Chain A
Amino acid sequence: MTLADAQPQSISFECETGNYHTFCPISCVAWLYQKIEDSFFLVIGTKTCGYFLQNAMGVMIFAEPRYAMAELEEGDISAQLNDYEELKRLCIQIKRDRNPSVIVWIGTCTTEIIKMDLEGLAPKLEAEIGIPIVVARANGLDYAFTQGEDTVLAAMAQRCPDKAPEGEKEERNAIAKLLNFGRKQEEVRAEESEYIEHPPLVLFGSLPDPVVTQLTLELKKQGIKVSGWLPSKRYTELPVIEEGYYVAGVNPFLSRTATTFMRRRKCKLIGAPFPIGPDGTRAWIEKICSVFGIEPKGLADREAQVWENLEDYVQLIRGKSVFFMGDNLLEISLARFLIRCGMTCQEIGIPYMDKRYQAAELALLEKTCEEMGVPTPKIVEKPDNYNQIQRIKEMKPDLVITGMAHANPLEARGINTKWSVEFTFAQIHGFANARDILELVTRPLRRNNSLKNLGWDKLVKEEVEIGNGGQ
């Protein structure tokens, strides 16, 4: 049927119609405005965009978020109004009310279609109002969900200073400052010597601050110093990027950012699996170490210990099957981790598959399948949700990881689901958060253990069997 049958060792890739449900990439403002504390995100779009954000962000909307819609009206579409003057008016208002250090313009489908030259307007307006304006085209024509962050970070990578002003050098490194907080200068210096000599390393990907600290400390144990992180807590603290720096991604959806670092900033990309799950975290650290010629210490023990702590959760899912419908690009890493936990996976749906940026992750997936003695999953790029549901009905997986649009209907048909978006908002990176991933994955199974024997797992009337697309 597929390549997988003929060559069981290699992963098969397919591409469907792209008729699937996912969040619009403008949703990235929801977590990025919280991460970058002095930013303001202006989404230039229509009521449709606003309605999505308002509903997707739930209660966040009531907390005076640092984001707003520049809602386009008929006059904007037909160019009866001047784009530049309109944006200037709104940005001045934002400057007056909020005084941010950066305004991020999020271009949408509408600005694409009417070809509003945001990249051209931004520098002019920036000079006029004195606030940096970063343009990210995070639209539904080109991207899915988490790729929105990728477009923003790729734009920000261009804004990273290429040299720290003298005297500020010590100050700029926000992460070091965070870790050294409250300590004496001598102690800090003494600690500097704990690091091994290696070229500067900058990590990219937006993570909650506690996770940033955890991963930074994890690398510190190996003597690796993190010189900066994109994004930082504040726009004014963007890391210095010089030619020849090393960069590494922490999330699988950051291909454009990686490309920008390599091509525009002449950095060297460390292609590693992503630090999701203890296996991923270990592989991530090992790869970074190997690039710097460092022999990693104590990682095997560390990983084994994490697995030991996970055993109660792993027991619940061992031998069970999982199906990823695909909507946030974390799918490969999560599937790899769950297979290592003893699950089988028939299908990994994914919106977009960058085989180069994810190469190391794909290799680890293949290796994991081999070591666990399970068939490699089929990777379906741009999946077709309708077809997937037919396949789910056939395969009857123990768990489907899917969007909210399908979760309740599948549950009503007796199929366990986990809402995929939670993985993007939960803390899932590093050794310490592996338990959080399994907490999410096992939740429906634990819920079912409490409810079993009640006899109401299928709650819809028998459906008329739909033939294979026939009449």
Chain B
Amino acid sequence: MKLAYWMYAGPAHIGTLRIASSFKNVHAIMHAPLGDDYFNVMRSMLSRERDFTPVTASVVDRNVLARGSQEKVVENITRKDAEEHPDLIILTPTCTSSILQEDLQNFVERAQLEAKSDVLLADVNHYRVNELQAGDRTLHQIVQFYIEKARKKGELPTSKTAKPSVNIIGISTLGFHNNHDCTELKRLMTDLGIEVNAVIPEGASVHDLKRLPQAWFNLVPYRELGVMTAKYLEQEFAMPYVDITPMGVVETARCIRAIQTILTKNGTEVDYEKYINEQTLHVSQAAWFSRSIDCQNLTGKKAVVYGDCTHAAAITKILAREMGIHVVWAGTFCKYDADWFKAQVSEYCDQVIISEDHGAVGDAIAKAEPAAIFGTQMERHVGKRLDIPCGVISAPIHIQNFPIGYKPFLGYEGTNQIVDLIYNSFTLGMEDHLLEIFGGHDTKEVITKTISADSDMTWSKDGLAELNKIPGFVRGKVKRNTEKFARDRNIEVITAEVLYAAKEAVGA
């Protein structure tokens, strides 16, 4: 058992449902107790869906516990088949069905006899994988199913498209800025003269899946979703794939060069260098920003980064490599993919943190005292408590992270958005600090905003008064250093004198 207040990645079935409801005309049926269909609320609210979320539950109640699901699951599948005529129904196990150990595969086979739609059992285990891993698996499972089905029927197209073409794999519902990223990627492909053969799973029909092998290559923009599918397609059809996330100026160029290599290998000589140059200098403002005085002022400022693998790694590289910001630590909650993350960011930050514990992450932020945080909604709230600005760069996210305006993180427009996000976070902090220096709006008497346990040191009135004169953004550090100084010398009450003595001694 684990005491937990907050989790970064959801349970496995959420991943499966995200894939299922990204496709067009695919219906998911959860084998779950009443109330577990919370996914529908999230999808309807967060992404403001106009359509009913194609997810229903085959409710597990007392009767099911006593006698097993018997006909219930089969009936629910065939009923949904008749009502909605989906192309595919995915039976989705949950934590409850994981322990009931009913033979869901058997239900699927029986339902398949009657149902006109295809029926699949999502191959995910609640206790082994999380939302992200389950999503990756389910996408792979569906693609494999339809490729094999087409192959059996002899309907699998074997020829490549005439012009260079790509499948974009991994755009999904409830993904962080996914729909904007998708638009940006399509635009980028058009610029490069590459046709988009298919985008999966978002908005795709399962009938399109057999056409996947016609593309020249696959592009997997996110580390968390699509790699399994891309590897499968590589193995089956020798399709190359690019898994460099085009986030940030340098990575976008790297991604485009990888595409160039693939196309050239396939006999289409392309040279994207001019394009990269033009975009970098004139379309994206990020390169210019890194030379501007604004960015110069950020040099050496401390930041911490935390999120999923894709976003945390990319943002870390942007901060360190493209803006000269000092990344004290970079972290991810994708424990299962820790090695990849470490390899990506190690040279760009002092320390790598792999943890799913929001408390530990919060403490690491408090200890580092960065000038800005880039993290999830949880880190944003830690920032609020510590008075440190935070830019949200990764799920878990709230409704405000599903903006209506065009805000991609990928491609050249993405680099512009990221510059704004980063610069605005830092200037907010600077503004605050200037206000403090010039006797701004700080009327707080005592400092209570630390996330780590409160200290046991006593401060005299004049000591506190002096402490409060110190600008807010360094006050925490001064307080801690002074307390350490006092503790080392067995000083019981910290007066103004002690504060200044400490300052001289340790340069607090």
Contacts and interface: CB of A to CB of B under 8 A. Distances in A.
Contact of A408 (B13, B50, B95, B98): B50
A68 B5 contact: yes
A262 B35 CA distance: 30
A109 B50 contact: no
A70 interface: yes
Given A48-B126, A77-B127, A469-B83, A409 B44 contact: yes
Contacts of A407: 44
Given A69-B4, A69-B5, A74-B127, A22 B35 contact: yes
A408 B44 contact: yes
B1 A86 contact: yes
B82 A81 contact: no
Contacts of B3: 68-71, 90, 93-94
A68 B83 CA distance: 40
B8 to A, nearest CB: 10
A52 B38 CA distance: 7
B334 to A, nearest CB: 15
Contacts of B38: 23-24, 51-52, 55-56
Nearest to B97: A113
B59 A24 contact: no
A412 B50 contact: yes
Contacts of A19: 56-57, 59, 76
A109 B60 contact: yes
A297 interface: no
Contacts of B62: 141-142
B5 A46 contact: no
Interface in A44-83: 44, 46-48, 50-52, 54-56, 58, 61-62, 65, 67-74, 76-77, 81
Given A23-B35, A470-B82, A404 B11 contact: no
B186 to A, nearest CB: 22
B53 A386 contact: no
B61 A141 contact: yes
A287 interface: no
Nearest to B1: A86
Contacts, number: 166
A147 B79 CA distance: 29
A386 B44 contact: no
Nearest to A142: B62
Interface in A271-319: none
Contacts of A142: 61-62
A412 B53 CA distance: 13
A405 B40 contact: yes
Interface in A129-144: 139-144
B444 interface: no
Contacts of B59: 18-19
A24 B35 contact: yes
A405 B50 contact: no
A18 B61 contact: yes
A109 B96 contact: yes
Nearest to A43: B4
The binding surface of chain B is classed by DSSP as mixed
B1 A73 contact: yes
B7 A408 contact: no
A114 interface: yes
A171 interface: no
Contacts of A87: 1
B9 to A, nearest CB: 9
B5 A405 contact: no
Contacts of B40: 21, 405
B52 interface: yes
A109 B40 CA distance: 20
Chain A CB within 10 A, most for which of B1, B41, B99:
B1
A403 B61 contact: no
B386 to A, nearest CB: 13
Given A47-B11, A71-B1, A141-B33, A386 B56 contact: yes
Contacts of B94: 48
Chain A CB within 10 A, most for which of B36, B96, B98:
B96
Nearest to A470: B82
B466 interface: no
A25 interface: yes
A406 B1 contact: no
B53 A24 contact: no
A471 B82 contact: yes
A27 to B, nearest CB: 8
Contacts of A55: 38, 41-42
B94 to A, nearest CB: 6
A3 interface: no
Contacts of B32: 48, 140
A77 B96 CA distance: 11
A359 interface: no
Interface residues of B, number: 55
Given A77-B127, A112-B65, A469-B83, A408 B35 contact: no
Interface in B120-138: 126-128, 130
Contact of A48 (B34, B36, B82): B36
Nearest to B38: A52
A127 to B, nearest CB: 20
Interface string B23-40: 000000000111111101
B347 interface: no
A158 interface: no
Contact of B52 (A73, A86, A409): A409
Contacts of A20: 34
Contacts of A44: 1
Given A68-B3, A77-B127, A409-B44, A47 B35 contact: no
Contacts of A56: 38, 41
Given A68-B4, A141-B60, A460 B11 contact: no
A369 to B, nearest CB: 30
Interface string B95-106: 110111000000
Chain A CB within 10 A, most for which of B3, B6, B381:
B3
A1 interface: no
Given A51-B14, A61-B6, A141 B1 contact: no
A405 B60 contact: no
A364 B100 CA distance: 44
B11 A51 contact: yes
B49 interface: yes
Contacts of A113: 65, 96, 99-100
A459 interface: yes
B125 to A, nearest CB: 9
B4 to A, nearest CB: 5
B37 A110 contact: no
A46 to B, nearest CB: 4
Nearest to A77: B99
A141 B65 contact: yes
Interface in B60-110: 60-62, 65, 76, 79, 82-84, 94-96, 98-100
B45 interface: yes
A469 B83 CA distance: 5
Interface string A406-421: 1111001000000000
Given A50-B4, A65-B5, A74-B127, 6 more contacts: A19-B57, A52-B36, A68-B5, A71-B3, A93-B3, A113-B65
Kindly list the 8 A-B residue pairs having the minimum CB-CB distance in the complex, ordered from nearest.
A24-B35, A140-B33, A405-B40, A412-B50, A62-B381, A86-B1, A47-B11, A46-B95
21 contacts: A18-B61, A23-B35, A46-B126, A47-B95, A52-B35, A55-B38, A56-B41, A58-B398, A69-B3, A69-B5, A70-B1, A73-B2, A76-B1, A140-B32, A406-B52, A408-B48, A409-B44, A409-B50, A412-B50, A460-B51, A466-B83
Interface of B: 1-7, 10-11, 13-14, 32-38, 40-42, 44-45, 48-53, 56-57, 59-62, 65, 76, 79, 82-84, 94-96, 98-100, 126-128, 130, 378, 381, 396, 398
